[in-house]
Amino acid sequence: MNLPRRLLATLLVACVALSACSTAGQGSASSSTGNDASGDQGDGAAGTPGTSLTACQILRGSDIEAALDLDAGTAGDGKPKKLAPGDDPAASSCEWGISDWGGLSVNVIPTTGATNYAQAVEQIADRAEPLDIGDGSIWVDDIERGYFHKGSVLVLVQILILYGGRDKRDLAIALGTAAINRL
């Protein structure tokens, strides 16, 4: 595969993933558990058949701290991100901005995740490393993203930056496993 085609495939996968997790903050649905981790219902909280957990609830600062062997409270709480309109109105996103350890974002697609996972695998299978987590998971090194699928839920872990020579793949796997274990 030549570079322009690979770049096109990467962009297509990113568009599919972002499109699929985009309307959480726009609709009127609310989480059956109430607020997301920040207490703000307007940023991706929505109850669904797959999970009522938002991205800021399915992954926690304590998960990051455990995976990176950080002191308690170092990672802090994630910040909900509003998403643009898309396929799954129950989707949510959470971000841990750049700090001393690094930064990452997590998206949860609770109702159409199985479909979105299948589409992602079809598009990036030649670049993806299969993982034995949940109902199917992959790590894509060139975009530093893990896709973790269980039932109708897809959890996307995107490593933005990681300091201290730590391995992004290992971090994504630890965090994806923690998220899948909460389902």
The string of DSSP codes covering 34-64 is: BS-TTS-TTTT----SS-S--HHHHS-HHHH
Residue with token string 């949510």: 92
Domain ranges of the chain: 3-181
Output the six-digit token pair for 117: 């996972």
- The predicted model gives 32-50 an average pLDDT of 40
pLDDT of residue 12: 35
Phi and psi dihedrals of 156, rounded to 5?
A: -105, 125
Tens-digit pLDDT profile for residues 63-86: 999 999 999 999 999 999 987 666
What's the rounded Cα separation, in Å, for the pair 65 and 164? 14
- Whether the pTM exceeds 0.85: the reply is no
Q: Out of 2.40.160, 3.30.750, 3.40.1000, 2.60.40, select the CATH number for domain 3-181.
A: 3.40.1000
The DSSP H or E segment spanning 131 is strand 128-131
pLDDT at 89: 82
Rg of the chain over CA atoms, in angstroms? 15
